[in-house]
Amino acid sequence: MELAGDCTEARELTKRVEVASIENLSSERIGRYCAGLGIDLHAPQSILKTLASWGEPAEADELALMAECEPNDVARVLRWADLLGLTKREGGNLWSLDPLVNTVVQQLPD
């Protein structure tokens, strides 16, 4: 991945550098990142990890099926994560993870 590429905003470049720097962290450091991001609880972590493994934006209902959770729980976690900037809404009812969060969550042990 080229870090600068077509990046025109300092904030986006900063995110790209952060993602590149955390790709090979120890499980202890990943745990600290999760705690810092507020995703060290099982339910949010499980739902966000499912979204990360899916690899593309997903609707809350299909995410509930994949994560084997109640749709209301998934909707609540997505709204909470959106308020923290961990997720974002794509078109319609599709949700995706912030790239930094996606990298951290994918490295969590199962």
pLDDT tens string 9-54: 666 656 666 665 666 667 777 777 777 777 767 778 889 999 999 9
Amino acid 2: pLDDT: 47
Element at 16 (helix H, strand E): helix 10-21
Helix, strand, coil tally for the chain in percent (to 5): 60, 10, 30
Q: Which domains does the chain have, with CATH numbers?
A: 10-106 (1.10.10.10)
Per the CB < 8 A criterion, the answer to whether 97 and 78 are in contact is no
Amino acid 106: pLDDT: 83
